[in-house]
Structure 1
Amino acid sequence: MPKPVLLHLGDDVQWNRDLYNKLQERFNIMRSYSMNREDFKNALSHNRFGDFAAIYRPFWNTGGEMGAWDEEFISLLPRSCKIYASAGAGFDWVDTQRLARRGIIYCNSAPACTESVADTAIWLILNAFRNFTWSSSAARSLDPGKFREAHQDIAATTHNPNGFSLGIIGLGKIGYRIAQKAHVAFEMKIIYNDVNRLPESVEKGVSAQYYENLDDMLADSDCVLLATPFVGEKVMNAERFAKMKRGSRFVNIARGKLVDEVSLLAALKSGHLAFAGLDVHYDEPNVNPDLARLPQVELLSHTAGASLESHMGFEKIGLQNILSFFDTGKAITPVNLQWLSQPKL
């Protein structure tokens, strides 16, 4: 039997050469390297990559030049394609439901960046309570007056996070790791809302309290952390921000499109929220200029999961997903199995 074809998007594998050699033994590998959207669409239309059975994208910053994976692309995939294994935790750029209805399993590589994202979240949470942003910007201004102001006045507006409640929206693998760090290091009270409640034995690991109703959790949280995947609609809007405690804090390490930034800005300006820490933004790479001007806001460039360890893991987990699927029929980190039972298109 001839080897199945695998389409490799983007750059060469850098760290997991032994695993990639196994892939080369099992598949005929076709490469797209870096292609713009029209060129890639044309290549798919003309079956330039053959009837490939799998797609592999090892890094989030390469192989994605063609843009969103929507109906325009998915309708052109060959019927032979069974799995798409890609780097990164988020998948808001790909219609995973549409892939499933074509019989294609989509796999992310979220476990690889869990530690990096959790560390960033902890830094943003700590910053939300202590407002290191104010202190840092005052020092960097080289203005003695601003330095003295921060030195003298910051204590009256900040708190240690110990004993405060951290409300987590989405207690998945990343959310749970953040909860572990916050609970152990800061002795924070962990409360959470999710589509499904975790087993009691898992909750006990961080002394977590489950809230079936999100609004109730928001009302009891001193800091709200958004850690849920984007599923097509905003989670935090004006109504939800109004449910939060006056003087509470908000941190987002999930996806920018989960948040109505106009409502967030209004809540910060009114003093209803004391601080916001954002790794992600609604219109990336464009940052909301009004949020950027506020001293009670910390902004990052979507780098929570950016570490060498994360990149090495993305590459590895993608390879493992494909090898596992063709060896056992099961992928390691699928995210769209709930839709695979629907009729194929």
Structure 2
Amino acid sequence: MADAKPVILHIGDPIKHNHELYAELSRRFTIIRPSAEERQREAFLEALRTRKWGDFSAVMRPFWSTGGEMGRWDAELVPLLPKSLKVFASAGAGYDWADVDLLAEAGVLYCNGASASSEAVADMAIYHIISVFRNMQWTNMAARSGDTATFLDAHHNSPFTAHNPRGYVLGVVGLGNIGYTIAQKAYKAFGMKIVYYDPYPKSAEQEAAIEARRLPELGDLLAEADCVVLAAPGSGGRIIDAERIRQMKKGARLVNIARGNLVDSNAVTDALEAGHLFAVGLDVHEDEPNVNPRLVAHRNATLTCHTAGGALETNIGFERLAIENVWAVLEGRPPLTPVNKHLMKA
């Protein structure tokens, strides 16, 4: 019918936080929420083939931990989407689970929730930066060991290789919203020197605010930084492997709060054991939920469970951005956090 409301496909759990906003969205649009069974890969593909949900105009995934049961939005899935689809708004900062270039070719804007997680992810990065400079994992493991000799070893000996971060060079790979927030915190709290590598430079004003220098090549950053922080999207593939590690300073530190596929965990462990890398801090892992057992046993490897963005404020923001991005696009307004807009045809 000509006056029918546009349809939004809500994939994942029901709304948990922004109830009034969702209620207003429901009044303006028709919302369909497929069951968990319907979201499994084969069932989801078949539903798209048979146009089970009709010509929906938007897909909304308000939570990063549910709504991904169908797997990757790839060359098998994207061509099955209806021509009516305008926007896919998802929670989460990363988007390696969706081929955003294929979505752009299909005329679908992909929007993420990165701005909602910037604060939490940056805070986790700061935790890891402190840990790799101050031997926090060594002393944490010793304190929990229950062994007097192990405790006293950490108490007496860890300070000889621990350093204050002040004055050291922090190299940020990917100076987007999250990377810039990390750099701000490290610069203002610790007085670290900031260098960065990113194909898209920050404005002169933004660089001046943290005295940041943009380096033309990744190798230049790796050679200069005392601590390298990865804050790049995972869609570009592996960044740190054995060859790249050899370009890093001997005794350098590595922190990854971006995506596990960016780092070769065996190469990192080899470098730790050889002493080329002094310490690493990893919130994300190459084969999640499995963590490299060699890293688990290493006292200079700080490990967390992909929880960098895991604050309540982040979840609330993810949910709100998913709703607001869909709402904006369906009403003809610009999206708030587009990822692939630059890839869309004019």
TM-score by length of 2: 0.96
User: Residue in 1 aligned with 2:77?
Assistant: 73
* Alignment check: 8 A CA contact 2:138 2:299 kept: yes
Matched, 1:124 2:128: yes
Alignment size in residue pairs: 342
User: Residue in 2 aligned with 1:32?
Assistant: 34
Q: Equivalences for 1:290-329 in 2 at 5 Å?
A: 290-329=294-333
Measured after TM superposition, the shift of residue 85 of structure 1 is 0.3
* Alignment check: 8 A CA contact 1:8 1:33 kept: no
User: Residue in 2 aligned with 1:225?
Assistant: 229
Q: What is the CA–CA distance in structure 2 between the aligned matches of 1:261 and 1:147, rounded to whole Å? A: 28
Measured after TM superposition, the shift of residue 338 of structure 1 is 2.1
Measured after TM superposition, the shift of residue 329 of structure 1 is 3.6
Q: Equivalences for 1:144-293 in 2 at 5 Å?
A: 144-293=148-297
- 5+ residue gaps, structure 1, are none
- From 1, 10, 13, the equivalent of 1:11 is 13
User: Residue in 2 aligned with 1:20?
Assistant: 22
**CA offsets, 1:239-284, max 9 Å, x none?**
2111111001000001111112222122111100000000011111
SS in 1 for 2:151: helix
Partner AA of 2:111 in structure 1: C
Partner AA of 1:30 in structure 2: I
Measured after TM superposition, the shift of residue 340 of structure 1 is 1.0
* Alignment check: 8 A CA contact 2:57 2:330 kept: no
Partner AA of 1:292 in structure 2: V
Q: What is the CA–CA distance in structure 1 between the aligned matches of 2:236 and 2:47, rounded to whole Å? A: 29
TM-score by length of 1: 0.97
Partner AA of 1:151 in structure 2: H
SS in 1 for 2:52: coil
Q: What is the CA–CA distance in structure 2 between the aligned matches of 1:220 and 1:61, rounded to whole Å? A: 37
* Alignment check: 8 A CA contact 2:266 2:292 kept: no
Structure 1 residues 43-52 or 121-130, which shifts more? 43-52
Partner AA of 2:26 in structure 1: Q
Q: Equivalences for 1:104-143 in 2 at 5 Å?
A: 104-143=108-147
Measured after TM superposition, the shift of residue 330 of structure 1 is 1.6
Measured after TM superposition, the shift of residue 293 of structure 1 is 1.7
Measured after TM superposition, the shift of residue 231 of structure 1 is 2.3
* Alignment check: 8 A CA contact 2:86 2:330 kept: no
**CA offsets, 1:157-203, max 9 Å, x none?**
11111110100001111011111110111110111110021111110
Percent identity, aligned pairs only, is 48
- 5+ residue gaps, structure 2, are none
Q: What is the CA–CA distance in structure 2 between the aligned matches of 1:290 and 1:259, rounded to whole Å? A: 15
Matched, 1:63 2:70: no
Q: What is the CA–CA distance in structure 2 between the aligned matches of 1:50 and 1:247, rounded to whole Å? A: 58
Measured after TM superposition, the shift of residue 295 of structure 1 is 1.3
SS in 2 for 1:314: helix
